[in-house]
Amino acid sequence: MKIHQAEFIISAVRPDQYPEDALPEIALAGRSNVGKSSLINRMINRKNLARTSSQPGKTQQLNYYMINEQLYFVDFPGYGYAKVSKTERQKWGAMIETYLTSREPLKLILLVIDVRHPPTKDDQLMYDWLIYYNIPCCVVATKADKIPRSKWDKHLKVVQQTLNKRPEDPIVLFSSETGMGRDALWETILSFCHD
């Protein structure tokens, strides 16, 4: 996809700050440091629009990026960071749950996982939540450049089995380093926006 516009809009801490123009929203969930910012930057062909390297303190913000005046990427705060307090974790849970259950423009969640390792307990919990609320999910297995091509299939299988992935949820092998999977992921995203 050709990107003619990409812009950071807001770090929203409250629902009344979410945009009101009803453009489709594609949300990104994943553990801290998994590579969400790099993925956003690669998808929009910008080096640094999404801040790389997570900010573990910022557990309360949804970062909105407008793309081609057509849709939003909504970057969830990364999870699984050990030093976050229980209170912060609960606030994170409440914010995400509210978003997942009441955000009408939400079309698809990208669950970003590291293809090198089986999904973590937190990844599994996140995915189970999406199943519970019946939200479409595309699993994005990133950092593919870090394992040899000969191991891709095996690793993808482990990811799908560990998550107990629903057959209707797509899975895309991705690399922010090489751009692998970018076209496939755009195709998936746009198909969910037009549904």
Beta carbon nearer to ligand GDP, 175 or 188: 175
Q: Which amino acid is at 122?
A: D
At its nearest, how many Å lie between ligand GDP and the CB of residue 20? Answer: 27
At its nearest, how many Å lie between ligand GDP and the CB of residue 30? Answer: 6
Query: Half-sphere exposure (CA, 13 Å, Cβ side) for 141?
Result: 27
At its nearest, how many Å lie between ligand GDP and the CB of residue 85? Answer: 19
User: To 5 degrees, how large is the angle CA 15–CA 76–CA 64?
Assistant: 60
**Residues within the interface to ligand GDP (CB under 6 A):** 30, 32-38, 52-54, 78, 142-143, 145-146, 175-177
Pairing status of strand 106-114 against strand 137-142: parallel
At its nearest, how many Å lie between ligand GDP and the CB of residue 32? Answer: 5
Token output for 30: 């994943």
Residue 72 makes CB contacts below 8 A (sequence gap 6+) with 9, 19, 23, 24, 25, 26, 64, 65, 66, 105
Beta carbon nearer to ligand GDP, 104 or 127: 127
Alpha helices, DSSP H, located in 113-181: 121-132, 152-163
CA nearest 62: which of 53, 44, 70, 50?
50
At its nearest, how many Å lie between ligand GDP and the CB of residue 182? Answer: 11
